[in-house]
Amino acid sequence: MESEVKRIVDRIVHDAKREAKSIVEEAKKSAEIMLTKRKALARQKAGEKASAILKKTESEVKALREMVPTDAKREAGWMVLSEKERLVTSVLDQVKTRLEALSQSEKYIPVIEKMILDGGIVLGGGKLEISLNKRDSVLPLKFSTLAKAIAEKSGKKTQIKLSGEIIEAFGGAVVKTVDGRIVVDNTFEAILKRRERDLRFKITRILFG
C-alpha cells in the first residue's frame, strides 16, 4: 500500500511541477514589486523625517532608511514561502482525493487485501480481527486466502474474522489481535499521517528543487 501512495504522489507531483514553477515565479515577482515599493516608501519617509532628526546622529538616520526595506524583505520571503506551502498542501489534498476515488473503483479490492496482508504479517499471524468502514464491510474479501498467505509469511497458523466494529475511514483496514491488545492501523488516513513528513519533503524537493 505504501507503494500505491508513492505511485499516486509521483503522478500528481509530475503534473503539478510546471504549474508550481509558474506560480512561485509569480509570487516572487509580486514580492519584488512589493519590496521596491517599500524601499521607495522608506526613502520617502526617511527624507520627510530627516529634517526633524537633523540634529541626531548619522547612524539613526541610516537605521531609519534601512528599517522598512528589511521588513519588506522579510515579508516578501514569507509571501513566497506561503505560496510554496499552499502548493505542497494542494498536492497532498490531491493524493487524498485520488485515494478516495481508488477506494470506490474496481482496483480497490486487491489494494485493501494487500493492506490486510501487510497488517497481519506485522502482527505475526494468529487470531486476527479486521475492522472496515461500512462500505468496505460488504466487499467480497478473500479472508481465508489472506489467512493462508499470512501463515506462510509468519510461520503461525492464522485465522481472520471481520469485526463488528465499523470504523470512520475513507478506505483501508484496521488489523488487530482478537484481544485488541495489538493494532495495526492501515487505513488510508493513518498511512498518509505516518508518511506526511516524508511526503512533504519529497514534494517540496521535486517541485522547487
For the stretch 56-77, pLDDT in tens is: 545 555 555 555 556 656 666 6
Between the CA of residue 190 and those of 97, 124, 143, 207, what are the distances in Å?
15, 20, 22, 25
CA distance 79 to 27: 7
Task: Return the pLDDT at 41.
Answer: 64
Q: What is the DSSP string of 135-195?
A: TGGGS---HHHHHHHHHHHHSS--EEEEEEEEP--SSEEEEEETTSSSEEEEEHHHHHHHH
Q: Is the pLDDT of residue 47 over 80?
A: no
Burial 35-47 (b: 16+ CB within 10 A, else e): beebbeebeeebe
CA distance 161 to 143: 7
DSSP alpha helices (H): ranges in the chain? 2-50, 58-102, 108-123, 143-154, 188-208
Q: Which residue has the cell 502548493?
A: 87
User: What does residue 54 show for φ and ψ, rounded to 5 degrees?
Assistant: -55, -35
Q: Per-residue pLDDT averaged across 97-124, rounded?
A: 91
Q: Cα 185 to chain center, whole Å?
A: 18
Task: Return the pLDDT at 98.
Answer: 86
Q: Is the pLDDT of residue 5 over 90?
A: no
> For the segment 74-105, what is each residue's pLDDT rounded down to a tens digit?
666 666 777 778 888 888 888 888 888 888 88
Task: Return the pLDDT at 94.
Answer: 85
Q: Is the pLDDT of residue 10 over 70?
A: no
Q: Is the pLDDT of residue 166 over 80?
A: yes
Q: Is the pLDDT of residue 190 over 80?
A: yes
Q: Say if CB 103 and CB 132 are below 8 A apart.
A: no
Nearest to 175 by CA among 135, 121, 134: 121
Q: Is the pLDDT of residue 179 over 50?
A: yes
Q: Is the pLDDT of residue 167 over 80?
A: yes
Q: Give the model's confidence band at 185: pLDDT under 50 very low, under 70 low, under 90 confident, else very high.
A: very high
Task: Return the pLDDT at 77.
Answer: 63
What's the mean per-residue pLDDT of the chain? 79
Q: Give the model's confidence band at 55: pLDDT under 50 very low, under 70 low, under 90 confident, else very high.
A: very low
Q: Is the pLDDT of residue 48 over 80?
A: no
Q: Say if CB 80 and CB 31 are below 8 A apart.
A: yes
Count CB-CB contacts under 10 A for residue 117. 21
Task: Return the pLDDT at 207.
Answer: 73
